[in-house]
Amino acid sequence: MQQKILIVDDTANFRHAVAAALRGEGYEVLCAKNGEDGLSLALTEHPGLILLDIAMPVIDGLSYLASLRAHKHLKDTPVIMLTASADVNHVREASGLGIQGYMLKSAFSLGEMIKKVEELIGAPAVFTHQ
C-alpha cells in the first residue's frame, strides 16, 4: 500500500508542483485548496503525512492544525508547514501544535522536502511483479 500524503495549500501551481514531485517518488498524494477541504480529506483518508500552508481561505493552517490535533485518529499525524510566512509567532504557534517541520516557500527545495518526508514516513514501498 502506498503512503498517503495530503497537501493543503491554496496556491494551485505550488500544490501541483509538490504533488507531481511526490508522485514521481512513488507516494500517493491527495490535494486540498483550503483548510476546510483539507480537514475533510484528512478525516476520510487518514494520510500518513500532511504538508500544510498557513495563509489560506476558509480555515487557515494554524486553525486547521489545532482542529487536526483535536481528533483522536489524527492527533499524531506528522505535519510539515510549507509556507511563505517567516513570522516567528507563526513558527512558535505551529511548533506548539506539534509540527515536524517548517519550510519557507522562498527557500523551498523539492529535494529537501522529499528528504524530510522520507525521514518522517519512509520511502514509498516499491512493488515488483514476479
How do the domains of the chain map onto residue ranges? 4-121
CATH of domain 4-121: 3.40.50.2300
Compute CA distances 106 → 14, 79, 93, whole Å. Answer: 12, 19, 20
Whether residue 127 has pLDDT greater than 60: no
Q: What sign results for the dihedral spanned by CA atoms 86, 91, 93, 94?
A: positive
Whether pTM > 0.75 for this model: the answer is: yes
Q: Is 103 helix (H, G, I), strand (E, B) or coil?
A: strand
Q: Do the beta carbons of residue 97 and residue 69 sit within 8 Å?
A: yes
108-117 burial code (b ≥16 CB/10 A, e <16): eeeeebbebb
pLDDT digits (tens, 9 = 90+) for 65-95: 999 999 998 999 999 999 888 888 888 888 9
**Rounded to an integer, what distance in angstroms lies between the CA atom of residue 103 and that of residue 129?**
37
Q: Residue 44 CB: number of other CB atoms within 10 A?
A: 8
Q: How far apart are CA 78 and CA 4, in angstroms?
A: 12
pLDDT > 90? residue 100: yes
Q: What pLDDT does 130 receive? A: 47
pLDDT digits (tens, 9 = 90+) for 7-42: 999 999 999 999 999 999 999 999 999 999 999 999
Mean pLDDT of 47-54: 96
